A and B are shown apart, each in its own frame.
Chain A
Amino acid sequence: MTDMLGGLAQEVVSGIALGCIYALIALGFTLIYKATEVVNFAQGELMMVGAYVNFFIVTALLDIPMLDGALGFLLAFAGAVAFAFLFGTFLDLIINRPLKDEPVFSVIMATISMAIILRAVMALIAGPMTRLPLSPFGSGVIKVGGLFISVHDLFIISSAIVLVCGFYYFFNRTKWGIAMKATSEDPMAASLVGIPVKKVYRNVWIFSMVVATIGGVLLAPRTLLDTNMGFLGLKAFPAAVLGGFGSVPGAIVGGVIMGVIETVSMGTLSFYFPWVKEINDIVVWIVLIAVLMIRPAGILGREEIERV
Protein backbone atom coordinates (compact mmCIF):
# COMPACT_ATOMS: atom_id res chain seq x y z
CA MET A 1 0.00 0.00 0.00
CA THR A 2 2.68 2.48 1.01
CA ASP A 3 4.47 1.33 -2.06
CA MET A 4 1.58 2.35 -4.27
CA LEU A 5 1.27 5.71 -2.56
CA GLY A 6 4.98 6.23 -2.95
CA GLY A 7 4.71 5.42 -6.62
CA LEU A 8 1.86 7.87 -6.96
CA ALA A 9 3.81 10.63 -5.21
CA GLN A 10 6.70 9.87 -7.52
CA GLU A 11 4.50 10.34 -10.54
CA VAL A 12 2.96 13.51 -9.19
CA VAL A 13 6.41 15.09 -8.89
CA SER A 14 7.32 14.02 -12.37
CA GLY A 15 3.94 15.28 -13.56
CA ILE A 16 4.52 18.67 -11.99
CA ALA A 17 7.78 18.98 -13.90
CA LEU A 18 6.08 18.11 -17.18
CA GLY A 19 3.20 20.40 -16.23
CA CYS A 20 5.61 23.28 -15.72
CA ILE A 21 6.59 22.96 -19.35
CA TYR A 22 2.98 22.89 -20.48
CA ALA A 23 2.46 25.92 -18.30
CA LEU A 24 5.27 27.80 -20.04
CA ILE A 25 3.90 27.02 -23.48
CA ALA A 26 0.37 27.86 -22.38
CA LEU A 27 1.71 31.13 -21.01
CA GLY A 28 3.08 31.94 -24.46
CA PHE A 29 -0.28 31.18 -26.06
CA THR A 30 -2.07 33.27 -23.52
CA LEU A 31 0.17 36.31 -23.84
CA ILE A 32 -0.32 36.46 -27.59
CA TYR A 33 -4.03 35.75 -27.30
CA LYS A 34 -4.59 38.43 -24.69
CA ALA A 35 -2.66 41.07 -26.56
CA THR A 36 -3.72 40.38 -30.13
CA GLU A 37 -6.62 37.92 -29.93
CA VAL A 38 -4.63 35.55 -32.08
CA VAL A 39 -4.51 31.89 -31.11
CA ASN A 40 -0.99 30.98 -32.10
CA PHE A 41 -1.06 27.42 -33.34
CA ALA A 42 2.68 27.55 -33.97
CA GLN A 43 3.47 27.82 -30.28
CA GLY A 44 4.56 24.17 -30.07
CA GLU A 45 6.77 24.62 -33.12
CA LEU A 46 8.35 27.70 -31.59
CA MET A 47 9.25 25.47 -28.67
CA MET A 48 10.70 22.91 -31.07
CA VAL A 49 12.78 25.54 -32.87
CA GLY A 50 14.12 26.87 -29.58
CA ALA A 51 15.07 23.38 -28.43
CA TYR A 52 16.90 22.69 -31.70
CA VAL A 53 18.80 25.95 -31.66
CA ASN A 54 19.94 25.15 -28.16
CA PHE A 55 20.95 21.65 -29.24
CA PHE A 56 22.91 22.92 -32.24
CA ILE A 57 24.87 25.30 -30.08
CA VAL A 58 25.55 22.67 -27.45
CA THR A 59 26.80 20.31 -30.15
CA ALA A 60 29.01 22.98 -31.66
CA LEU A 61 30.51 23.75 -28.29
CA LEU A 62 31.26 20.11 -27.54
CA ASP A 63 34.57 20.27 -29.39
CA ILE A 64 35.80 23.14 -27.31
CA PRO A 65 37.41 22.05 -24.08
CA MET A 66 35.87 23.60 -20.97
CA LEU A 67 32.63 24.19 -22.83
CA ASP A 68 31.51 20.59 -23.10
CA GLY A 69 29.72 20.61 -19.75
CA ALA A 70 27.31 22.74 -17.83
CA LEU A 71 29.03 25.96 -18.86
CA GLY A 72 28.53 25.08 -22.49
CA PHE A 73 24.90 24.32 -21.79
CA LEU A 74 24.41 27.69 -20.14
CA LEU A 75 26.05 29.44 -23.08
CA ALA A 76 23.84 27.53 -25.48
CA PHE A 77 20.83 28.44 -23.37
CA ALA A 78 21.76 32.12 -23.57
CA GLY A 79 22.35 31.71 -27.31
CA ALA A 80 18.94 30.12 -27.79
CA VAL A 81 17.26 32.93 -25.87
CA ALA A 82 19.11 35.50 -27.97
CA PHE A 83 17.92 33.69 -31.07
CA ALA A 84 14.40 33.76 -29.64
CA PHE A 85 14.58 37.55 -29.43
CA LEU A 86 15.47 37.79 -33.09
CA PHE A 87 12.98 35.18 -34.17
CA GLY A 88 10.18 36.78 -32.15
CA THR A 89 10.90 40.09 -33.88
CA PHE A 90 10.84 38.29 -37.21
CA LEU A 91 7.46 36.66 -36.44
CA ASP A 92 5.98 40.00 -35.49
CA LEU A 93 7.27 41.39 -38.77
CA ILE A 94 5.92 38.65 -41.03
CA ILE A 95 2.76 37.52 -39.22
CA ASN A 96 1.51 40.19 -36.90
CA ARG A 97 2.16 43.42 -38.80
CA PRO A 98 1.02 42.56 -42.32
CA LEU A 99 -2.11 40.85 -41.02
CA LYS A 100 -2.88 43.39 -38.34
CA ASP A 101 -6.20 44.63 -39.70
CA GLU A 102 -7.20 41.38 -41.34
CA PRO A 103 -9.77 39.08 -39.76
CA VAL A 104 -8.38 37.07 -36.84
CA PHE A 105 -9.07 33.96 -38.88
CA SER A 106 -6.45 34.92 -41.48
CA VAL A 107 -3.86 35.40 -38.78
CA ILE A 108 -4.70 32.02 -37.29
CA MET A 109 -4.31 30.40 -40.72
CA ALA A 110 -0.95 32.13 -40.96
CA THR A 111 0.15 30.65 -37.64
CA ILE A 112 -0.91 27.17 -38.77
CA SER A 113 1.08 27.60 -41.99
CA MET A 114 4.00 28.84 -39.95
CA ALA A 115 3.84 25.70 -37.83
CA ILE A 116 4.00 23.46 -40.89
CA ILE A 117 6.80 25.46 -42.47
CA LEU A 118 8.87 25.43 -39.30
CA ARG A 119 8.54 21.65 -39.01
CA ALA A 120 9.59 21.17 -42.61
CA VAL A 121 12.49 23.58 -42.48
CA MET A 122 13.78 22.11 -39.26
CA ALA A 123 13.56 18.61 -40.72
CA LEU A 124 15.66 19.85 -43.65
CA ILE A 125 18.28 21.38 -41.42
CA ALA A 126 18.44 18.71 -38.75
CA GLY A 127 17.89 15.60 -40.81
CA PRO A 128 15.51 12.80 -40.06
CA MET A 129 17.19 11.58 -36.89
CA THR A 130 15.49 11.86 -33.55
CA ARG A 131 18.01 12.87 -30.96
CA LEU A 132 18.22 12.72 -27.26
CA PRO A 133 19.99 15.76 -25.91
CA LEU A 134 21.54 15.13 -22.54
CA SER A 135 20.57 17.14 -19.57
CA PRO A 136 23.47 19.17 -18.24
CA PHE A 137 22.76 17.45 -14.96
CA GLY A 138 23.16 14.01 -16.44
CA SER A 139 20.74 11.45 -15.11
CA GLY A 140 21.36 12.35 -11.49
CA VAL A 141 18.62 11.87 -8.93
CA ILE A 142 18.34 13.11 -5.42
CA LYS A 143 16.34 11.60 -2.62
CA VAL A 144 13.92 13.86 -0.81
CA GLY A 145 11.99 12.06 1.92
CA GLY A 146 11.13 8.78 0.29
CA LEU A 147 11.04 10.28 -3.20
CA PHE A 148 13.58 10.13 -5.93
CA ILE A 149 13.55 13.28 -7.97
CA SER A 150 15.66 13.68 -11.05
CA VAL A 151 17.88 16.71 -10.87
CA HIS A 152 16.65 17.75 -14.26
CA ASP A 153 13.03 17.77 -13.09
CA LEU A 154 14.06 19.85 -10.14
CA PHE A 155 15.77 22.21 -12.56
CA ILE A 156 12.60 22.41 -14.65
CA ILE A 157 10.42 23.15 -11.67
CA SER A 158 12.71 25.78 -10.22
CA SER A 159 13.22 27.49 -13.60
CA ALA A 160 9.47 27.62 -14.06
CA ILE A 161 8.98 29.12 -10.61
CA VAL A 162 11.64 31.75 -11.21
CA LEU A 163 10.17 32.60 -14.61
CA VAL A 164 6.63 32.85 -13.32
CA CYS A 165 7.72 35.10 -10.46
CA GLY A 166 9.61 37.20 -12.98
CA PHE A 167 6.54 37.50 -15.14
CA TYR A 168 4.37 38.34 -12.21
CA TYR A 169 6.72 41.12 -11.23
CA PHE A 170 6.98 42.37 -14.78
CA PHE A 171 3.24 42.49 -15.42
CA ASN A 172 2.26 44.02 -12.13
CA ARG A 173 5.13 46.22 -11.07
CA THR A 174 6.85 47.62 -14.12
CA LYS A 175 5.63 50.36 -16.40
CA TRP A 176 6.19 48.32 -19.56
CA GLY A 177 4.43 45.31 -18.07
CA ILE A 178 1.38 47.33 -17.12
CA ALA A 179 1.50 48.99 -20.53
CA MET A 180 1.31 45.51 -22.10
CA LYS A 181 -1.77 44.72 -20.06
CA ALA A 182 -3.29 48.09 -20.92
CA THR A 183 -2.66 47.49 -24.62
CA SER A 184 -4.32 44.11 -24.57
CA GLU A 185 -7.33 45.59 -22.78
CA ASP A 186 -7.81 48.57 -25.05
CA PRO A 187 -5.32 49.23 -27.84
CA MET A 188 -6.93 52.50 -28.89
CA ALA A 189 -6.86 53.96 -25.40
CA ALA A 190 -3.29 52.70 -25.04
CA SER A 191 -2.14 54.53 -28.14
CA LEU A 192 -3.97 57.66 -26.97
CA VAL A 193 -1.92 57.82 -23.77
CA GLY A 194 1.27 57.40 -25.76
CA ILE A 195 2.00 53.69 -25.40
CA PRO A 196 3.77 52.57 -28.60
CA VAL A 197 1.30 49.83 -29.43
CA LYS A 198 3.27 48.32 -32.32
CA LYS A 199 6.31 47.95 -30.11
CA VAL A 200 4.20 46.30 -27.43
CA TYR A 201 2.90 43.75 -29.94
CA ARG A 202 6.44 43.04 -31.03
CA ASN A 203 7.49 42.52 -27.44
CA VAL A 204 4.60 40.14 -26.90
CA TRP A 205 5.78 37.95 -29.76
CA ILE A 206 9.34 38.10 -28.50
CA PHE A 207 8.21 37.18 -25.00
CA SER A 208 6.19 34.31 -26.26
CA MET A 209 9.08 33.01 -28.34
CA VAL A 210 11.48 33.29 -25.41
CA VAL A 211 9.14 31.39 -23.10
CA ALA A 212 8.62 28.71 -25.74
CA THR A 213 12.38 28.37 -26.19
CA ILE A 214 12.96 27.94 -22.49
CA GLY A 215 10.18 25.35 -22.41
CA GLY A 216 11.74 23.50 -25.33
CA VAL A 217 15.24 23.51 -23.88
CA LEU A 218 13.91 22.14 -20.61
CA LEU A 219 11.69 19.58 -22.28
CA ALA A 220 14.06 18.05 -24.83
CA PRO A 221 16.14 15.96 -22.38
CA ARG A 222 12.92 14.54 -20.92
CA THR A 223 11.40 13.44 -24.17
CA LEU A 224 13.28 13.44 -27.42
CA LEU A 225 14.37 16.12 -29.80
CA ASP A 226 12.19 15.60 -32.81
CA THR A 227 10.73 17.95 -35.38
CA ASN A 228 7.32 16.67 -34.35
CA MET A 229 7.74 17.57 -30.73
CA GLY A 230 5.66 20.65 -31.44
CA PHE A 231 2.55 18.50 -31.38
CA LEU A 232 3.17 18.11 -27.70
CA GLY A 233 2.82 21.87 -27.54
CA LEU A 234 -0.75 21.43 -28.68
CA LYS A 235 -1.43 20.01 -25.24
CA ALA A 236 -0.69 23.40 -23.82
CA PHE A 237 -3.87 24.43 -25.56
CA PRO A 238 -6.21 22.32 -23.40
CA ALA A 239 -4.02 23.39 -20.48
CA ALA A 240 -4.81 27.02 -21.21
CA VAL A 241 -8.49 26.25 -21.66
CA LEU A 242 -8.57 24.22 -18.46
CA GLY A 243 -7.11 27.08 -16.46
CA GLY A 244 -9.34 29.64 -18.11
CA PHE A 245 -8.40 30.86 -21.57
CA GLY A 246 -6.82 34.28 -21.55
CA SER A 247 -5.95 34.12 -17.87
CA VAL A 248 -2.22 34.13 -17.12
CA PRO A 249 -2.45 32.41 -13.71
CA GLY A 250 -4.96 30.06 -15.35
CA ALA A 251 -2.42 29.01 -17.97
CA ILE A 252 0.06 28.13 -15.26
CA VAL A 253 -2.39 26.26 -13.03
CA GLY A 254 -3.93 24.51 -16.04
CA GLY A 255 -0.52 23.47 -17.34
CA VAL A 256 0.58 21.95 -14.05
CA ILE A 257 -2.71 20.10 -13.54
CA MET A 258 -2.50 18.78 -17.09
CA GLY A 259 1.02 17.47 -16.55
CA VAL A 260 0.09 15.73 -13.31
CA ILE A 261 -3.04 14.11 -14.72
CA GLU A 262 -1.16 12.94 -17.75
CA THR A 263 1.76 11.44 -15.87
CA VAL A 264 -0.33 9.80 -13.19
CA SER A 265 -2.80 8.30 -15.64
CA MET A 266 0.07 7.09 -17.77
CA GLY A 267 1.68 5.44 -14.77
CA THR A 268 -1.42 3.74 -13.44
CA LEU A 269 -3.80 3.17 -16.34
CA SER A 270 -1.28 1.95 -18.88
CA PHE A 271 -0.69 -0.93 -16.53
CA TYR A 272 -4.34 -1.98 -16.68
CA PHE A 273 -5.00 -1.06 -20.28
CA PRO A 274 -1.72 -1.80 -22.00
CA TRP A 275 -3.42 -2.12 -25.40
CA VAL A 276 -4.66 1.49 -25.37
CA LYS A 277 -1.60 3.32 -26.53
CA GLU A 278 -2.47 6.88 -25.69
CA ILE A 279 -4.46 6.32 -22.58
CA ASN A 280 -2.93 9.37 -20.90
CA ASP A 281 -4.11 11.65 -23.69
CA ILE A 282 -7.61 10.28 -23.42
CA VAL A 283 -7.76 11.02 -19.72
CA VAL A 284 -6.48 14.54 -20.27
CA TRP A 285 -9.27 15.33 -22.69
CA ILE A 286 -11.92 13.70 -20.52
CA VAL A 287 -10.86 15.85 -17.59
CA LEU A 288 -10.91 18.92 -19.80
CA ILE A 289 -14.46 18.27 -20.95
CA ALA A 290 -15.59 17.50 -17.41
CA VAL A 291 -14.13 20.74 -16.05
CA LEU A 292 -15.63 22.78 -18.87
CA MET A 293 -19.05 21.28 -18.18
CA ILE A 294 -18.86 22.43 -14.57
CA ARG A 295 -17.03 25.70 -15.16
CA PRO A 296 -17.28 26.79 -18.79
CA ALA A 297 -14.84 29.65 -18.20
CA GLY A 298 -12.14 27.30 -16.89
CA ILE A 299 -10.77 27.04 -13.38
CA LEU A 300 -9.47 30.58 -12.99
CA GLY A 301 -11.27 32.13 -15.92
CA ARG A 302 -13.94 34.73 -15.48
CA GLU A 303 -17.12 35.22 -17.41
CA GLU A 304 -16.72 38.32 -19.49
CA ILE A 305 -18.39 41.24 -17.81
CA GLU A 306 -19.37 43.86 -20.28
CA ARG A 307 -19.93 47.32 -18.95
CA VAL A 308 -21.20 49.95 -21.30
Chain B
Amino acid sequence: MLKLIGVEAFYGKIKALHGVSLEVPDGKLVCILGANGAGKTTILKSISGVVEPEMGTIHFDGVRIDRLDPEKIVSLGISHVPENRHVFPELTVHENLVMGGFLVREKSLLKVRLEEVFDRFAIMRERKDQLAGTLSGGEQQMLAISRALMLKPKLLLLDEPSLGLAPLLVQEIFATIKNLHQSGVTILLVEQNVNQALRIADYGYVLTSGKIFLSGTYEELRREEKVREMYLGEGKYVRRARLWGS
Protein backbone atom coordinates (compact mmCIF):
# COMPACT_ATOMS: atom_id res chain seq x y z
CA MET B 1 0.00 0.00 0.00
CA LEU B 2 2.69 2.48 1.04
CA LYS B 3 6.27 2.10 -0.08
CA LEU B 4 9.26 4.35 0.55
CA ILE B 5 12.47 3.75 -1.34
CA GLY B 6 15.71 5.54 -0.49
CA VAL B 7 14.03 8.64 0.86
CA GLU B 8 16.37 11.50 1.79
CA ALA B 9 15.14 14.70 3.36
CA PHE B 10 16.81 17.91 4.46
CA TYR B 11 16.07 20.86 6.69
CA GLY B 12 18.15 23.52 5.03
CA LYS B 13 21.59 21.93 4.97
CA ILE B 14 20.87 19.44 7.74
CA LYS B 15 20.21 15.97 6.41
CA ALA B 16 17.49 14.35 8.49
CA LEU B 17 16.85 11.18 6.45
CA HIS B 18 19.69 9.20 4.88
CA GLY B 19 17.90 6.93 2.45
CA VAL B 20 14.95 5.40 4.26
CA SER B 21 13.14 2.47 2.71
CA LEU B 22 10.10 0.95 4.33
CA GLU B 23 6.79 -0.58 3.52
CA VAL B 24 3.34 -0.56 5.04
CA PRO B 25 1.19 -3.38 3.65
CA ASP B 26 -2.57 -3.08 3.34
CA GLY B 27 -4.41 -3.50 6.63
CA LYS B 28 -1.29 -3.70 8.78
CA LEU B 29 -0.19 -1.69 11.76
CA VAL B 30 3.46 -0.76 11.32
CA CYS B 31 5.48 0.99 13.96
CA ILE B 32 8.57 3.21 13.71
CA LEU B 33 10.81 3.33 16.77
CA GLY B 34 13.83 5.48 17.38
CA ALA B 35 15.51 7.90 19.73
CA ASN B 36 14.74 11.61 19.84
CA GLY B 37 15.92 13.28 16.69
CA ALA B 38 16.25 10.02 14.77
CA GLY B 39 13.98 11.33 12.02
CA LYS B 40 10.66 9.60 12.79
CA THR B 41 8.59 12.74 12.44
CA THR B 42 10.45 13.61 9.27
CA ILE B 43 9.44 10.28 7.72
CA LEU B 44 5.77 10.99 8.40
CA LYS B 45 6.09 14.56 7.14
CA SER B 46 7.72 13.32 3.94
CA ILE B 47 4.82 10.94 3.39
CA SER B 48 2.15 13.56 3.97
CA GLY B 49 3.99 16.14 1.89
CA VAL B 50 4.78 18.70 4.58
CA VAL B 51 8.45 18.02 3.89
CA GLU B 52 9.49 17.42 0.31
CA PRO B 53 12.11 14.68 0.02
CA GLU B 54 15.14 15.51 -2.10
CA MET B 55 15.81 11.94 -3.17
CA GLY B 56 13.97 8.65 -3.33
CA THR B 57 10.38 7.78 -4.10
CA ILE B 58 7.18 7.31 -2.16
CA HIS B 59 4.35 5.31 -3.70
CA PHE B 60 0.86 4.96 -2.33
CA ASP B 61 -1.50 2.46 -3.95
CA GLY B 62 0.76 2.53 -6.98
CA VAL B 63 0.69 6.34 -7.28
CA ARG B 64 3.87 8.29 -6.81
CA ILE B 65 3.14 10.92 -4.17
CA ASP B 66 6.48 12.41 -3.20
CA ARG B 67 6.10 15.53 -5.34
CA LEU B 68 2.48 16.28 -4.50
CA ASP B 69 1.06 19.00 -2.26
CA PRO B 70 -0.20 17.92 1.17
CA GLU B 71 -3.80 18.75 0.13
CA LYS B 72 -3.49 16.36 -2.77
CA ILE B 73 -1.93 13.60 -0.71
CA VAL B 74 -4.63 13.74 1.96
CA SER B 75 -7.26 13.54 -0.77
CA LEU B 76 -5.74 10.22 -1.86
CA GLY B 77 -6.54 8.75 1.55
CA ILE B 78 -3.57 9.43 3.82
CA SER B 79 -4.36 11.34 7.00
CA HIS B 80 -1.57 12.53 9.25
CA VAL B 81 -2.08 13.18 12.96
CA PRO B 82 0.96 15.33 13.69
CA GLU B 83 3.17 15.27 16.74
CA ASN B 84 1.81 17.56 19.49
CA ARG B 85 -1.76 17.30 18.18
CA HIS B 86 -1.96 20.60 16.31
CA VAL B 87 -5.69 21.06 16.82
CA PHE B 88 -7.00 24.50 15.85
CA PRO B 89 -7.11 26.07 19.33
CA GLU B 90 -9.46 28.96 18.60
CA LEU B 91 -11.99 26.82 16.77
CA THR B 92 -14.59 24.74 18.56
CA VAL B 93 -14.39 20.97 18.62
CA HIS B 94 -17.19 20.86 16.10
CA GLU B 95 -15.43 23.33 13.79
CA ASN B 96 -12.20 21.35 14.10
CA LEU B 97 -14.06 18.26 12.93
CA VAL B 98 -15.73 20.14 10.09
CA MET B 99 -12.25 21.22 9.01
CA GLY B 100 -11.18 17.58 9.20
CA GLY B 101 -13.92 16.97 6.65
CA PHE B 102 -12.92 19.94 4.50
CA LEU B 103 -12.56 17.72 1.46
CA VAL B 104 -15.97 16.10 1.93
CA ARG B 105 -18.15 17.85 -0.63
CA GLU B 106 -21.66 16.69 0.27
CA LYS B 107 -23.15 18.17 3.40
CA SER B 108 -25.09 14.98 4.15
CA LEU B 109 -21.96 12.85 4.04
CA LEU B 110 -20.22 15.30 6.35
CA LYS B 111 -23.08 14.86 8.82
CA VAL B 112 -22.76 11.08 8.65
CA ARG B 113 -19.02 11.27 9.27
CA LEU B 114 -19.55 13.62 12.21
CA GLU B 115 -22.03 11.18 13.74
CA GLU B 116 -19.59 8.30 13.26
CA VAL B 117 -16.88 10.23 15.07
CA PHE B 118 -19.25 11.22 17.86
CA ASP B 119 -20.31 7.59 18.23
CA ARG B 120 -16.74 6.46 18.47
CA PHE B 121 -15.61 9.21 20.84
CA ALA B 122 -18.48 10.21 23.10
CA ILE B 123 -16.33 12.87 24.73
CA MET B 124 -16.21 14.77 21.43
CA ARG B 125 -19.97 15.06 21.38
CA GLU B 126 -19.96 16.34 24.96
CA ARG B 127 -17.33 18.94 24.16
CA LYS B 128 -18.75 19.86 20.77
CA ASP B 129 -18.96 23.62 21.38
CA GLN B 130 -15.86 24.01 23.52
CA LEU B 131 -12.80 25.74 22.06
CA ALA B 132 -10.23 23.09 21.20
CA GLY B 133 -7.47 25.03 22.94
CA THR B 134 -9.24 24.58 26.26
CA LEU B 135 -9.43 20.78 26.03
CA SER B 136 -7.14 18.64 28.16
CA GLY B 137 -4.12 17.06 26.50
CA GLY B 138 -5.84 13.70 26.18
CA GLU B 139 -8.98 15.22 24.75
CA GLN B 140 -6.92 17.19 22.26
CA GLN B 141 -5.26 13.98 21.15
CA MET B 142 -8.65 12.33 20.71
CA LEU B 143 -9.77 15.38 18.73
CA ALA B 144 -6.67 15.26 16.53
CA ILE B 145 -7.37 11.60 15.75
CA SER B 146 -11.09 12.25 15.24
CA ARG B 147 -10.31 15.12 12.90
CA ALA B 148 -8.14 12.83 10.79
CA LEU B 149 -10.87 10.18 10.72
CA MET B 150 -13.36 12.61 9.18
CA LEU B 151 -11.96 11.72 5.76
CA LYS B 152 -12.10 7.95 6.37
CA PRO B 153 -8.44 7.56 5.46
CA LYS B 154 -7.08 4.32 4.07
CA LEU B 155 -3.79 5.03 5.82
CA LEU B 156 -3.47 6.81 9.13
CA LEU B 157 -0.12 8.31 10.18
CA LEU B 158 0.11 8.73 13.95
CA ASP B 159 3.03 10.66 15.45
CA GLU B 160 3.56 9.91 19.14
CA PRO B 161 -0.12 9.93 20.07
CA SER B 162 0.66 9.03 23.70
CA LEU B 163 3.14 11.87 24.18
CA GLY B 164 2.67 13.68 27.47
CA LEU B 165 -0.39 11.73 28.57
CA ALA B 166 -1.04 10.15 31.97
CA PRO B 167 -0.63 6.34 32.05
CA LEU B 168 -4.36 5.71 32.11
CA LEU B 169 -4.88 7.87 29.04
CA VAL B 170 -1.99 6.15 27.31
CA GLN B 171 -3.87 2.87 27.75
CA GLU B 172 -6.95 4.48 26.29
CA ILE B 173 -5.09 5.83 23.28
CA PHE B 174 -3.53 2.45 22.57
CA ALA B 175 -6.92 0.79 22.91
CA THR B 176 -8.26 3.31 20.39
CA ILE B 177 -5.44 2.64 17.96
CA LYS B 178 -5.94 -1.09 18.25
CA ASN B 179 -9.62 -0.60 17.68
CA LEU B 180 -9.07 1.50 14.56
CA HIS B 181 -6.67 -1.09 13.24
CA GLN B 182 -9.20 -3.86 13.80
CA SER B 183 -11.83 -1.86 11.97
CA GLY B 184 -9.61 -2.07 8.90
CA VAL B 185 -7.56 1.14 8.89
CA THR B 186 -3.92 0.73 7.89
CA ILE B 187 -1.72 2.52 10.40
CA LEU B 188 1.84 3.81 10.48
CA LEU B 189 2.62 4.60 14.10
CA VAL B 190 5.55 6.48 15.60
CA GLU B 191 5.95 5.81 19.31
CA GLN B 192 8.28 6.17 22.26
CA ASN B 193 6.20 3.73 24.29
CA VAL B 194 8.09 0.92 22.61
CA ASN B 195 6.68 -1.97 24.59
CA GLN B 196 3.08 -1.03 24.11
CA ALA B 197 3.56 -0.03 20.50
CA LEU B 198 5.25 -3.28 19.52
CA ARG B 199 2.59 -5.30 21.28
CA ILE B 200 -0.14 -4.00 18.99
CA ALA B 201 2.03 -3.64 15.88
CA ASP B 202 2.35 -6.22 13.12
CA TYR B 203 5.77 -5.02 12.19
CA GLY B 204 8.36 -2.54 13.44
CA TYR B 205 11.22 -0.48 12.05
CA VAL B 206 14.00 0.88 14.24
CA LEU B 207 15.46 4.17 13.07
CA THR B 208 18.80 5.63 14.16
CA SER B 209 20.13 8.93 12.86
CA GLY B 210 17.97 8.96 9.78
CA LYS B 211 18.62 5.34 8.73
CA ILE B 212 16.63 2.15 9.21
CA PHE B 213 18.75 0.10 11.50
CA LEU B 214 16.58 -2.94 12.18
CA SER B 215 13.16 -4.22 11.28
CA GLY B 216 10.97 -7.16 12.19
CA THR B 217 7.96 -8.39 14.09
CA TYR B 218 7.58 -7.83 17.81
CA GLU B 219 8.99 -11.28 18.52
CA GLU B 220 11.95 -10.77 16.20
CA LEU B 221 12.73 -7.31 17.55
CA ARG B 222 12.37 -8.53 21.12
CA ARG B 223 15.06 -11.09 20.49
CA GLU B 224 17.49 -8.42 19.28
CA GLU B 225 19.80 -7.60 22.11
CA LYS B 226 20.29 -4.03 20.94
CA VAL B 227 16.59 -3.32 20.86
CA ARG B 228 16.21 -4.73 24.34
CA GLU B 229 19.01 -2.57 25.59
CA MET B 230 17.99 0.58 23.83
CA TYR B 231 14.25 0.55 24.02
CA LEU B 232 13.00 -2.11 26.37
CA GLY B 233 15.08 -0.96 29.31
CA GLU B 234 16.84 -4.23 29.81
CA GLY B 235 20.41 -3.18 29.11
CA LYS B 236 23.12 -1.89 31.38
CA TYR B 237 23.95 1.79 31.38
CA VAL B 238 27.55 1.34 30.29
CA ARG B 239 26.70 -0.67 27.24
CA ARG B 240 23.89 1.63 26.33
CA ALA B 241 26.20 4.61 26.41
CA ARG B 242 28.46 2.84 23.96
CA LEU B 243 25.58 2.19 21.65
CA TRP B 244 24.37 5.78 21.59
CA GLY B 245 27.83 6.79 20.55
CA SER B 246 27.86 4.53 17.53
CB within 8 Å of B: which residues of A? 175, 178-179, 181-182, 185-186, 188-197, 305, 307-308
Q: How many angstroms from the CA of A178 to the CA of B84 in the assembled complex?
A: 22
Whether a CB of chain A sits under 8 angstroms from the CB of B182 is: no
Is residue B9 within 8 Å, beta carbon to beta carbon, of the partner chain? no
Interface flags for B137-152 (1: CB within 8 Å of A; 0: not) read 0000000000110110
Which residues of A lie under 8 Å from residue B27 when comparing CB positions?
A: none
A182: which of B84, B88, B133 is its contact (CB, 8 Å)?
B88
Determine whether the beta carbon of A175 is less than 8 Å from that of B102.
yes
CB of A169, distance to nearest CB on chain B (Å): 15
Q: How far is the CB of A100 from chain B (nearest CB, A)?
A: 14
Q: Which residues of B contact A (CB under 8 A)?
A: 48-50, 69-71, 74-75, 79-80, 82, 84, 86-91, 95, 98-100, 102-103, 133, 147-148, 150-151
Cβ–Cβ < 8 Å partners of B95 in chain A:
178, 182
A–B Cβ pairs within 8 angstroms, 23 of them? A175-B98, A178-B95, A178-B99, A179-B102, A181-B88, A185-B88, A186-B89, A188-B50, A189-B82, A189-B86, A189-B87, A189-B88, A190-B99, A191-B50, A191-B71, A192-B48, A192-B50, A192-B74, A193-B148, A194-B75, A194-B102, A195-B102, A307-B133
Query: B135 — nearest CB in chain A belongs to which residue?
Result: A307
Which residues from A are CB-within-8-Å of B48? 192
Closest chain B CB from A202 CB (angstroms):
14
* CB contacts between A and B, total, < 8 Å: 72
Which B residues are CB-close (under 8 A) to A195? 71, 99, 102
Name the residue of chain B whose CB is nearest to the CB of A191: B70
Q: Which residue of A lies closest to B96 (CB)?
A: A182
- In contact, B103 and A181 (Cβ under 8 angstroms): no
How far, in Å, is A249 (CB) from chain B's closest CB?
A: 13
- Also in contact, A193 and B99, with CB within 8 A (given A178-B91, A181-B90, A185-B90): yes
Chain B residue contacts of A191, Cβ below 8 A: 49-50, 69-71
B residues within 8 A CB of A178? 91, 95, 98-99
Contact B99 A192 (CB under 8 A): no
Shortest Cβ gap from A117 to chain B (Å): 31
Residues A192 and B75 in contact, CB atoms below 8 Å apart:
no
